[in-house]
Structure 1
Amino acid sequence: MPEKKKFGTFAGVFTPSILTILGVIMYMRLGWVVGNAGLMGTLGIILIAHLIAVSTGLSVSSIATDKKIGAGGIYYVLSRSMGIPIGGSIGIALYVGTAFSIALYLIGFSESFNSYFGFGTTVDDLRITGTIALLALTVLAMISTSLALKAQFFILAAIAISLISIFLGTTEFAPHTVAMFSNDNSVSLEVVFAVFFPAVTGFTAGIAMSGDLKDPKKSIPIGTLAAIATGLIVYIVLAVFISFTVRPDVLRSDYNILMKIALFAPAVVAGIWGATLSSALGGILGGPRILQAMSIDKVTPRVFGKGRGSNNEPINALFLVFVIAEAGILIGELDVIARVVSMFYLTAYGFINISYFLESWANPDFQPSFKIKRWIGLLGFIACFSVMFKLDMIAMIAALVVITVLYYALQRKEVKIQSNDVWGSVWENVVNKGLKKIDAKEYQNTNWNPNIILFSGKSDHQKYLLELGKTVSGRTGIVTNFKLILDTKNNIPLRKTEQTIRDENFQELGIFGRQIKVDNIYSGITNIASTFGFSGVEPNTIMMGWPKGLENSIEYSKMTETLLHLDYNLLYLDFDRKAKFGNYGSVDFWWRETDSKNAEMMLNIARFIIASPRWDNPDIRVLFVNNNNVAVDLIHDKIAKLVEDLRVKVQIKIINNAVEQKPFYDIIAEESSSTDLTLVGIPDYKIEKQAEFVMKTNHLFKTIGSTLLVKASHNFNELDLDLTKNKTTEKQWV
């Protein structure tokens, strides 16, 4: 197989870029821009447009010196930096924009060609000439990329000669005074800018050839920036020259004025035709390579990834470019096509700039040899979307909608490439800075922000414990489920990569999954509770299933004592395997005088349950057992005030028990037998009383449905539920 031919900086990047920059807009519309915007307005438009071009050129050049730049140019850069969904959606938009830009150049060519030879200049006439030119260039590209690039050297010479001829030309159209600004007869500056902007997009022609370059990391920065700088100088000098040479009214009405003022008109004609045809050829060469690269990555159909010959020429992709370009030619209006192309390129350039900004800000491995200031990328991003908004807000919204639809389509397609995008680094950076901010603040007794360590165990009803864990953690809480693998020897721990569990249930609920080996379940729980977490987001809650049959376990007692000493919130779920959570329609909270901290924690949990889509605004009751004959209305008012302060809507029920003195659990069994979820506080008891407490609790669980036992840490406020301690008040209640 013959060796693939590679190109250097001048032939592969600078020449195709500068020929596209000094193209149809310069010859056919720069005079019109000056005539409508005035000299100062034109210079402002040129500088703003080049602000975007320079920032984008700098950004892509910096990225190019850090990453391996493969075929596909800007698509390759974005897909490897920001991921396939964004890179692919912008790549598709850029590909379509490139194809439409071919139509832009060929319609410009047709205007000049038909006018010079006296052919018709109606829209249909331009369509015919443009189509013939498109066919000819497509055939040339199919014959040889190398031949097409060599032809560009002669065109570059023709452009240089045409510019010399223009600067040495006649001044018979010279104005009496130079118009510095636009007047009432002028087209709005927004429209003028939109028509002009494609003039500065040409530098992507060289980047699109990245797969055919000998040294992309060297050629792309040098060739791109040299082309942009050369274009900026030519446009400024030519705009100043035109404003002093031709009257504004002539500039606004005659698109061929440069040909008329030139010293030797045929030289300008050669320059116009060479520039427009070479720009179109640049799109014909570069566009298919973008589509080919996307197809190789499986973003677009694989059929477009197939090539021909030693250089793998993208023939199939070339045919699609032809179809899209022909559609643009059938539009027939150069100004309309220019505005469409502007939106596609501005969107792509905005993402290139933000890609560089994120890489330099978040990626510790980003070490380009071509270094620029980080803010340049951010400035370019803001400039792109500000200009889009100013030009045409509806078109901007439409472009972003298209990009968004493509993004989600590619995200669902789940295309994978052997490359890490920048988003992982971005999130790591955000999390790192956020943790430092959180850790720097002193802890204050505020609303509960749950960070739950969950020990669910593998069983048929595990998902219900996971579901409730996520419910009581709220929208922003963190839940980490630990699977404990009992290994009495425990000589070899699991590798770090093996400790992470990827499970559909976890991902759906937003729960982190971990697994570790332990030589003892209870000591394992204690060790995790003692060591897991890091500054800023320390775990504050332990949740697990209710332990049946462990009332006499010394190990379980020690574990409980340690968890209480560590001051965790404790949540134990006794899950009713038959009733489950019923219809997710009712929740009971049981309070007593000694439940002051547990009560506030229950009300915090109530907030999260109410907000849960699964529970769908259930009926929540707070039930208080009045063992001391306190006036019911006063208890009700006091609880209502506590509930109101915590912004939770509940029903309050006071159960008088001063006379009968029924056991607390018996009352719960009577009132909550049909409740979907019952919350009961765990009282303070001496550890030696654990067996008695567990046995009584087990008996209760036989008579009611799913129950969550709650033990709040000291971080919760004490709600004043002991209504007998103030004797003066008590006399008023009796």
Structure 2
Amino acid sequence: MSGAGVNTNIDKRNSSLNIWITPDVGNDEPKVEFAEPRNNLIFPVDACVLEKKSSGTKNSKINERNIDYDDSSTVSSIPRNALLHFSGRPSVQLVTAFFDGFHVQTDRANSIKKKTFLTCISLSAVATNGVIESGGTYFMISRNLGAEFGTSVGILFYLANACACAMYIVGAIEVLLLYLFPTIAIGGTDVVKDIGFMGMMSNNIRIYGTVLLLITFFIVALGVKFVQFFAPVSLFCVLFSILSIFAGTIHKSIVNSEHTVCTLNESIVFQSKAFIPDYLNNTAFDNQCPYCTTDNVKLLNNLCGNINAENCTEMANKSLSCIYAFPGIRRNTFNENLMSNYMNEGESAQRVVARKYIDIFQDISTNFFVILAIYFPSVTGIMTGSNMSGDLRDPQKNIPVGTIAAQLFTSIKYYKYKYKYEFDKLGPVLRDKYGQSLRGRGMVVAEMAWPSPWIILVGSFTSCFGAALQCLCSAPRLLYSITKDDVLPFLQLFRVLNRWNEPFRCTILTAILAELVILVAAIDRIAPIVDFFFLMCYAFVNLICFLHSILGAPNWRPRFKYYHWSLSLLGALICLFIMFSTHWIYATIVLLLCAAIYKYVDWKGDKKEWGDGIRGLVLSTAQFSLSKLEDKIPHPKNWRPQLLLITNLPSCHESNQEETTRKLLHLASQLKKGRGLTIAVSLRGGDPTDSDEKASIAAMMKTKLAFEMTVAKVRGFCSSLIYDTDQVEAALSTLIQSSGIGPLHPNTLLVPYPELGGVGSNYWSFLHRLQRGAAEDMSLLIPKGILLFPELEDRISGLIDVWWILHDGGLLLLISFLLKQHKVWRSCKMRIFVVVQHSDNQFKMRMEMEEFLYQMRIDAELILAEFDSPDISAYEVQRSIDVNREFARRQTRVSLAQLILDQHRGSRDFLDEKPLKNPKDITQFNENNDKSGIQFNQNNDTSGIQEDYLDHPMQHVETPKSPENNRREVERTFTFTPSMAVHDHIPKKKEKKSSIHSAVRLNAKIVEKSQRSALIVLNLPEPPKTQTSFENYMRYLDVLTHSLKRVLLVRGTGNEVITMYS
């Protein structure tokens, strides 16, 4: 026998391989050659372009073609170790599990086994930490991570089981139509290649899949007992299939296998139909060598296109061979199958484009992650035991033992298959997805079984059908557990059991979802969907164990001791890695779906308190954060209004007081841009030692207050307090002093102004709160006309007028700014009225105050309001006292705004320093004086203050000189009655008229400028310290705010709460 001459020339300069095939005629008899796999430098003939002459002659022309060639590599005669067609579309769960043994990259299989084993360890620890009821994995996640996470992951896990049911049914139908009974396929046996979305094979899968789903549904509808009858049969078939595969390996190692395949250049496995005579197409036989010769007209026609092509015949005689498909256990085979080799769609070997009419080719592009997604469903059964937790006698014992034992058994089995297939099967045969190179039943795994391939075929079908039954049985129970917890209102329709105690409605819904997935008709598309749903569940099981291990809650006492937080964290990270490495788009969609369900449950779902780990995490985080905060005056950048709201929730007939409470909470909500904490307390007189009263009335008060806070969207805490009726002052003082925790104690007291016509007790309660709040150095917010303040649904337009009589640390500006940030007040325009006197340098004051507002990022119109000194005497004295007190403490810097005002006051010169030109100079001045302090003019005379006091008996000021630092320290004793020193010289009538007249003049100016404004914000005079001054103080406030619609009185502590720095 003479063969065609093949001349090769390797040009290393351009890294190409040039091949010329010269004609050579020979008439020797064909010889059948049985060859072992070799690593020759022979490129497959299909790399050449075979063309028939257009003239129709029988001569054939083989054109020259340049093929890329890497001279540093070895062109192998057998493409090594790629799980191509055979694993691209797995037929059954059992066979898919075997793929791990088919010369697949070891790291992929190891990573999956490690991940499932780590998940089993975490699952065992969680399952043994308390009683496990029905619901399995959902029950564990929801009770450990909360209803929101539990429901979102539970829904995904339910969808995973529903989709898995469809996947197993599609796999069973593939086994049925491709291998068991191919003649029942609608359209004939040739439709196997028509696998497009609307192809005939896909339509066959849809039709037969629907029929099989109906059969499965009727069996499950009869009850779980009928499903369990099929379990032993399926298990027996699977075990017998496993034994038959190992028996086949031993048998073929002892006795030479009769299974042969026809190869060209030992690289391409021909489709058997390409060279087997047509009259034998429906006949099964093993030895194909008699037909793998150049005498086979059909083979040469398909190979060369012309039987008389002498060059093609000569070449075929040299490169054509017939080899064993299952050579037995051999080291050479293992070495060739050891490394991975992935191919693109339409290739018969790596970087070799297939001739689809004759070659076995790749129908999908593969890589590590594609194979990973297809393989993963074979290891998703680790949750089967936990899903049936309601039917187990002792779940805490059965789940760990059964889950870990099953995982170890399957891992050992998979590793055995891996090395077995790498030793005893040729790589090209393993890559034959549908077994088209063989003449048996077609399934490669079935062909190597002993004593009969039917064992694997039947075992594959029963395995898939049994898995579909289990999924269709467990998924409705999982959904019923979710509906039973009553966290999703729209699922209440499925919270029904039939008379046999079966969730029939849930079963119907599951069957409908499975049917929708069956319509996809392709396992390659269904498997990734199932993967991500299961991976989300596994990730959260690992997260549970990790969180509990890290937090170390007292309730975390699992009986299973062989766990560690690092293993759980590693398992969760591997799950996320697999998700995003395989299909990051699918992973993103699944995460968004999980987040959407979480948000819906948080929004509409019933609130459940199961003592979950998320609450424990929040508690631990809060404790850690609080321990890191220092309990001292915060920096102006970090200051935020921490509100304390004290109210008496009334009985049902006191609607006015109830409306007041509601309006106060809405006002607190409108300040939420301050990101502060709100504490609301409901007080009620009674017997605090009466347990029945505390349990009933106090609980009712707290429930009402919590409801109002929820409606007003106030984020904070509420409580109720029962106090002795004769100890109201002590109760208020104790409450104000003890509210909050550490640095998160309230710094602002929100108290409604008593309405006109109210009873006297309302005034006393109001004044007591002001007095106690001021004594604790708290800021005060006093809304007058609270019933006219808007609610969250209202939208206010107009003006917000800020009457800046006294700079108290910037609270006046900050509160006004925060209100304007809320959508209720967003349409308003802010105006700031700065109080000046005749002797002030108003021009420079305006320029520098505008610069100050710009630096503070306050968008407002600045207006200078001119007053006589007696009209604002109370505020003037308070301002001077506040500044001196803060310098004496050396705890805060001089207020920038106050320095601007003081610098241009014509009536008073507090500073000996040179006048500062701009706010930046003043800021530098502040920073320099952090160390040295401000030196006050020792010659300042206080007689002016005493004269102001005589005109308006608002405050009594004592100004003793300090011999230690020669600074003036001022102690406040505000009274609203004349001091003992001047009491005898001032008649009572003149005293009252003077205070009222100053309030009337100030009110008249405010009414003139701001009567039609939407809101007026102004300074609150310092509350009196003695009860004898309460009457005059209230009279002054009434006159000051007369004829004003909405007023917010603000009292700051003097500490800076606003700054120009970022």
TM-score (structure 1 length as normaliser): 0.84
Which of 187, 197, 214 is equivalent to 2:376? 197
**Distance in 2 between the 1:216 and 1:719 partners?**
61
Deviation at 1:476, TM superposition (A): 1.8
Shift of 1:383: 2.5
Structure 2 residue matching 1:481: 3-state secondary structure: strand
Q: Distance in 2 between matches of 1:719 and 1:203?
A: 59
CA distance in 2 between partners of 1:124 and 1:576 (Å): 71
1:585 — aligned with what?
798
Alignment partner of 1:369 out of 559, 573, 593: 559
Q: Structure 1 84/263 Cα, relative in aligned 2: closer, same or farther at 3 Å?
A: same
Check whether the contact 1:463–1:505 (CA below 8 A) recurs between aligned residues. yes
In 2 relative to 1, CA 27–712 (structure 1 residues): closer, same or farther, beyond 3 Å? Answer: same
Structure 2 CA distance for partners of 1:110 and 1:145, relative to 1, 3 Å: closer
Instruction: Identify the residue that residue 423 of structure 2 maps to in structure 1.
Output: 244
Contact 2:636 2:1058 in 1 (8 A): no
* Match in the other structure for 1:670: 1008
The alignment yields a C-alpha RMSD, in angstroms, of: 3.4
Determine if contact 2:91/2:172 at 8 Å carries over to the other structure. Answer: no
Q: Distance in 1 between matches of 2:415 and 2:169?
A: 25
Q: Which of 12, 15, 24 is the aligned partner of 2:92?
A: 24
What SS does structure 2 have at the residue aligned with 1:585? Answer: strand
* Contact map agreement 1:169 1:261 (CA 8 A) in 2: no
SS in 2 for 1:501: helix
| 3-state SS of 2:812 partner | helix
2:854 equivalent to 1:695: no
Structure 2 Cα separation of the partners of residues 367 and 682 of structure 1: 57
- Residues 629/153 of structure 1: CA separation in 2 closer, same or farther (3 Å cut): same
Provide, for residues 663-714 of structure 1, a one-character-per-residue CA deviation record: whole Å limited to 9, x for no partner: 4443223222122221221345764655434312201222222212222124
Match of 1:616 in 2: 826
Counterpart of 1:123 (choices 189, 196, 202) is: 202
Q: Is the 8 A contact 1:106 1:280 kept in 2?
A: yes
Q: For residue 50 of structure 1, what is the aligned residue in structure 2?
A: 113
The correspondence of residues 644-659 of structure 1 with structure 2, limited to 5 A, is 644-657=854-867
In structure 2, what is the Cα distance between the partners aligned to 1:637 and 1:68? 73
Tell me which of 467, 471, 475 is aligned to 2:666. 467
Matching of residues 252-263 of structure 1 within 5 Å:
252-255=431-434, 256-263=443-450
Amino acid aligned to 2:1013:
T
State the match for 1:546 in structure 2. 753
Query: 2:767 and 2:219 mapped to 1: Cα distance?
Result: 84
Measure how far apart 1:308 and its partner are.
5.1
The whole-number CA distance in structure 2 between the counterparts of 1:187 and 1:555 is 78
- Aligned partner (choices 788, 808, 812) of residue 597 of structure 1: 808
Matches for 1:101-250 after TM superposition, within 5 Å: 101-117=164-180, 119=182, 120=189, 121=192, 122-141=201-220, 142=222, 144-168=226-250, 170=252, 172-173=324-325, 175=333, 177-184=336-343, 185=350, 187-250=366-429
* Separation in structure 2 between the aligned mates of residue 316 and residue 556 of structure 1, nearest angstrom: 61
Query: Which residue matches 1:272?
Result: 460
Q: Deviations over 1:425-469 (max 9, x none)?
A: 232222222222224788445442121111244343433222222
Using the TM superposition, give the Cα deviation of residue 414 of structure 1 relative to its aligned residue in structure 2, in angstroms. 2.8
CA distance in 2, matches of 1:221, 1:693: 74
C-alpha distance in 2, partners of 1:131/1:464?
61
Deviations, residues 171-216 of structure 1 (Å, cap 9, x unaligned)? 7336472341234446122221111111110112222111111111
- Residue 147 of structure 1, CA deviation: 1.6
Q: Answer yes or no: is the 8 Å Cα contact 1:603–1:646 preserved in 2.
A: no
Amino acid at match of 2:708: N
How far apart are 1:411 and its partner, in Å?
Answer: 4.4
Match of 1:514 in 2: 719
SS in 1 for 2:670: helix
Change beyond 3 A, Cα 1:467–1:320: closer
* Structure 2 letter corresponding to 1:232: S
> How many Å separate the matches in 2 of 1:546 and 1:258?
87
Q: Is the CA contact (8 Å cut-off) linking 1:451 and 1:541 kept in structure 2?
A: yes
For residue 531 of structure 1, report the CA deviation from its aligned partner.
1.8
Are residue 500 (structure 1) and residue 702 (structure 2) matched? yes
Give SS of 1:253's match: coil
Return closer, same or farther for 1:536/1:361 CA change in 2, 3 Å cut-off: farther
Query: Relative to structure 1, is the Cα distance of residues 655 and 135 closer, same or farther in structure 2, using a 3 angstrom cutoff?
Result: closer
Contact 1:611 1:617 in 2 (8 A): no
- Structure 2 segments unaligned to the other structure (5+ residues): 1-89, 183-188, 193-200, 254-323, 328-332, 344-349, 351-364, 435-442, 649-656, 872-997
CA 1:105 to 1:577, structure 2 compared with 1: closer, same or farther past 3 Å?
A: closer
Alignment partner, residue 885 of structure 2:
none
Tell whether 2:763 aligns with 1:681.
Answer: no
Deviation, 1:263, is: 3.8
Q: 2:685 & 2:114 partners in 1: Cα distance?
A: 63
* SS across alignment from 1:570: strand
Question: What is the CA distance between 1:490 and its match in structure 2?
Answer: 5.3
State the 1:128 CA deviation: 4.8
- 1:19 corresponds to which residue? none
Q: Which amino acid aligns with 1:677?
A: L
Cα displacement string for residues 342-379 of structure 1 (whole angstroms, at most 9, x for unaligned residues): 12212222233323333444554232212422233333
Q: Conserved in 1, the CA contact under 8 Å of 2:101 and 2:422?
A: yes
Secondary structure of 1:619 counterpart: strand
Change (3 A) 1:355 1:586: farther
Deviation at 1:242, TM superposition (A): 1.9
Match of 1:716 in 2: 1056
Counterpart Cα distance in 2 of 1:716 and 1:440: 17
2:514 to 325, 347, 371: 325
Q: Which amino acid aligns with 2:544?
A: S
2:528 maps to which residue?
Answer: 339
Q: Which TM-score applies when normalising by structure 2?
A: 0.60
Cα displacement string for residues 243-297 of structure 1 (whole angstroms, at most 9, x for unaligned residues) = 3333333323234222223343333334323432332232233223223323433
Contact 1:452–1:473 (CA under 8 A) maintained in structure 2: no
How far off its partner does 1:568 sit? 1.0
- Of residues 475-484 and 494-503 in structure 1, the stretch that sits farther from structure 2 once superposed is 494-503
Cα distance in 1, alignment partners of residues 683 and 762 from structure 2: 22
**2:18 matched residue in structure 1:** none
Specify the SS of the correspondent of 2:802. Answer: strand
Letter in 1 for 2:543: I
Compared CA separation, residues 673 and 341, structure 1 to 2 (3 A): same
Among 598, 619, 631, the alignment partner of 2:841 is 631
Aligned to 2:676: 477
Q: 1:82 to 1:584 in 2, by over 3 A?
A: farther
Local SS of the residue matching 1:597 = coil
Q: Secondary structure at the match of 2:831?
A: strand
How far apart, CA to CA, are the structure 2 residues paired with 1:440 and 1:260? 78
Preserved CA contact (<8 Å) 1:450 1:474: no
- Higher Cα radius of gyration: 2
Is the partner of 1:369 in helix, strand or coil? Answer: coil
Q: Tell me how far apart the structure 2 counterparts of residues 229 and 314 of structure 1 sit (CA, whole Å).
A: 33
Q: Which moved further from structure 2: 564-573 or 165-174?
A: 165-174
CA shift digits 1:473-498 (9 cap, x unpaired): 535211122222133x6553724756
Flag structure 1 segments of 5+ consecutive residues without an equivalent: 1-21, 721-734
3-state DSSP of counterpart to 1:704: coil
Higher mean Cα deviation, 277-286 or 616-625? 277-286
What are the residue-to-residue correspondences of 1:395-474 with 2, within 5 Å?
395-415=586-606, 419-439=610-630, 443-457=634-648, 458-472=657-671, 474=673
Matched, 1:529 2:739: no
Q: CA deviation at 1:81?
A: 2.6
Is the contact made by 2:799 and 2:830 (CA closer than 8 Å) also made in structure 1? yes
